[in-house]
Amino acid sequence: MTVTLTPTYRETLAPETLALIDKLVEENYELSDMLIFIDEYSEVTFQDSYEVYVELGEGYGYEAVDAWLTLADADEVEKFTDAYVGEFDSPEEMAQDYLDYESSQADYRLCIDWSETAEYLLAHEIDRAGNFYFRSSYYY
**Which sequence spans correspond to the domains of the chain?**
9-81, 84-138
pTM score of the predicted model: 0.81
Nearest CA-CA partner of 74 in 112, 43, 29: 43
Q: Is the distance from CB of 73 to CB of 121 less than 8 angstroms?
A: no
| Cβ(89)–Cβ(113) below 8 Å | no
pLDDT digits (tens, 9 = 90+) for 84-128: 999 999 999 998 888 877 666 666 667 788 899 999 999 989 999
Higher pLDDT, 138 or 27: 27
Whole-angstrom distance, CA of residue 130 vs CA of residue 104: 27
The pLDDT, as a whole number, for residue 47 is 95
In a 13 Å sphere around the CA of 59, the CA atoms on its Cβ side amount to 11
